Amino acid sequence: MGHDEGLPAAHGYEGMTMADSTVQTVDPVTTEIVRHALDAAADQMRVALCRTAFSPVIYEMTDFAAALYDPQVRLLAQGRSLPSFLGTLGFCVETAVERLGGPEVLEEGDVVVTTYSYDTGSHAQDLTIIVPAFYEDELVGYAAIKAHHMDLGARDPYCTDTTDLFQEGLILPGVRLYRAGELQDDLYRTLLANSRLPNLLAGDLHAQIGAAEIGLAGLFRLIEKYGLDDFRGYVERIFDHAETIARSVFTAIPDGTYTAQGAMDNDGVNHDLIPFEVVVTIDGDRCVVDYTGAPDEVGGPINCPRPTTVSVTRMALMSFFEQAGSSPNEGLFRPIEILTRPGSLFEPRPPAPCFMYGWPGTVAAELIHKALAPALPDQVPAGSARDLCAVVWWGTDENGEPWADGNDHLVGHGASSHGDAGAPLMIIACSGIKNTPLEVFEARRPVMAERLEFVPDTGGTGRFRGGLGVDAHYRALSDVFVTLPWDQTHSGGWGLSGGGSGRASALALRHPDGRVEPLEKCSALRIPAGCTLELFCGGGGGWGPAEERSVEAIESDLREGYTSAEAARDAYPQLRGSDATPG
């Protein structure tokens, strides 16, 4: 059973609240200056990594997270990048340091590397580096950066059908890459030898380390300016204030137990639907999110290690904290308790495979919102298509050198009580990720984009319309391989308050002779030259009954091409007898 995730229990902070804080009175103005300076230092890590990384998945798509922690592994600040990593970096730091023997064995100049999925919550490709911060020989914190590398020794550059952890990439369970400033050459060469793309790996790894040092420089500037004791006082005040915000949010939600159900298409190995539920309990100023009723861990790689379960839960609840104007730090998470069951989908045991760890987490995050929708009808939108709609491509170039690349796609999001959904966006869990521009992708790879367009009638109907889905078609100019880690193809974004559902996602392979082959999630699919990979990204749900939509809004949808005349006639009875009735 999981414990309260407010603070790492290993450091004796479990259950700590505002009343326990040793610093009760510090200058609030200076506290805000320090908070914003910490946020800026964490975001400078993000900027530095984007400017120095070798791989587009990092510098273009921002598939990474960067954060600063205090010596007790409490989150000080996190850069604006991948939100689904929000709660995992603390686990990375804590477990890696423990595996080395504890913080007392660390030295200035150490750089620790971990890829072990059950410590990091991610697949091995999400390599994490941890740099301890020493100020006048005292450990004062850590910088941590987790970033996706295109290849780190898995069976394929990306996998949907692994059956144990050992097929999923090189396992480094918290080891020193640098010891007291000296590169451990044997480990470094071993690391590069386990990648099909060693030059990219080397460049990205050094970029991570350099970016972490920039974040620590910002931390040191604050300590030097205010002194270590006063700085620690400001940090405690920051945490206490954030806790106050979080508790006020939960207090405003009616007490009760709220439940929502979802499902995964399959586990990538077996083809059975995998249903599960998320239970959210609001009790005064506390929130408990319960995953103990989830099914047992499965044979394919959609198992979600506990660090990511914690992370996506925090991320989902952070959407309510943001309305209170707070950026992430440890204090926000003190009133949250996250319950999981060992051996289940949301707390699997080694060596259960977990390459697609993020997919059930993505669904769980939206289920938390769906569960709370009856209590917060004006704050929770209808559902999105809930999938990254990713394609990972690879092959060899004209010189016989291996290459690999990936691109994610936008999907329709849900309408809300405030209005229609806007343009397609990345899913919530990956909202920090950008889709790769087609011009950039085509210039690098033997693939031609033939279609990228919004699709009418793919958003759910309602008083307010759900966001449209997107069609993207790619023709292979030479033989290539792809992995398609798609899910949520059985249902699109769910509607709320009587709104309709959006289109479900789908994908297919069109052969040169016109034959169309339906596809589902798969690994290492060969696409011969001349074939076209057709992606149909899902739409978002509508909000409110369709008969309550204004005729003016329907007319606008018709003019803009969001809705076809036939679909409008079927969905909106208010058009009958109106001058706006489509012909």
Intervals of the chain under pLDDT 50: 1-23
Q: Which of 184, 218, 245 represents a domain boundary (last residue)?
A: 245
Q: Which of 245, 275, 294 represents a domain boundary (last residue)?
A: 245
User: From CA 274, how far away is CA 181, in angstroms rounded?
Assistant: 48
Q: How many domains does the chain have?
A: 2
| Residue 518 DSSP SS3 | strand
Supply the pLDDT for residue 579: 57
**Across the chain, how many H-helices and E-strands are there?**
12, 20
Q: What is the dihedral of CA 38, 43, 48, 53, to 10 degrees?
A: 130
* DSSP-assigned letters across all residues of 278-310: EEEEEETTEEEEE-TTSPBP-SSTT---HHHHH
Cβ contact 452:422 at 8 Å:
no
β partners of residue 182: 179
Q: Give this prediction's pTM.
A: 0.93
For residue 508, what are the contacts with CB-CB under 8 A and spacing of at least 6? Answer: 516, 517, 518, 519, 533, 534, 536
- How far is residue 187 from each of residues 20, 31, 176, 192, measured CA to CA in Å? 43, 42, 8, 9
Q: Is residue 470 domain-resident? A: yes
Supply the pLDDT for residue 19: 41
User: From CA 567, how far away is CA 564, in angstroms rounded?
Assistant: 5
Q: Is residue 182 domain-resident? A: yes
Q: Is residue 32 domain-resident? A: yes
Per residue, the 3-state secondary structure of 175-239, as one string, reads EEEEECCEECHHHHHHHHHCCCCHHHHHHHHHHHHHHHHHHHHHHHHHHHHHCHHHHHHHHHHHH
Q: Is residue 502 domain-resident? A: yes
Residues 239 and 386 in one domain: no
Exposure of 550 in the CB half-sphere (CA atoms within 13 A)? 5
Q: Is residue 578 domain-resident? A: no
Q: Is residue 346 domain-resident? A: no
Supply the pLDDT for residue 118: 98
User: From CA 41, how far away is CA 33, in angstroms rounded?
Assistant: 12
User: From CA 43, how far away is CA 123, in angstroms rounded?
Assistant: 24
Two tokens, residue 514: 């016109």
Tally Cβ neighbours within 10 Å of residue 551: 14
Cβ contact 472:391 at 8 Å:
no
363-413 tens-digit pLDDT = 999 999 999 999 999 999 999 999 999 999 999 998 999 999 999 999 999
Burial of 254 (0-12, 13-18, 19+ CB in 10 A): exposed
Strand 286-290 relative to strand 336-339, pairing: parallel
Supply the pLDDT for residue 1: 42
Burial of 20 (0-12, 13-18, 19+ CB in 10 A): exposed
Q: Is residue 335 domain-resident? A: no
Two tokens, residue 38: 């910490």
Burial of 206 (0-12, 13-18, 19+ CB in 10 A): middle
Tally Cβ neighbours within 10 Å of residue 248: 13
H-helix or E-strand containing 274? strand 274-283
For residue 257, what are the contacts with CB-CB under 8 A and spacing of at least 6? Answer: 279, 280, 281
Supply the pLDDT for residue 206: 98
Supply the pLDDT for residue 15: 39
Q: Which of 245, 262, 294 represents a domain boundary (last residue)?
A: 245
Cβ contact 395:306 at 8 Å:
no
What domain range includes position 142? 9-245
Q: Is residue 82 domain-resident? A: yes
Q: Quote the DSSP letter at residue 464.
A: B
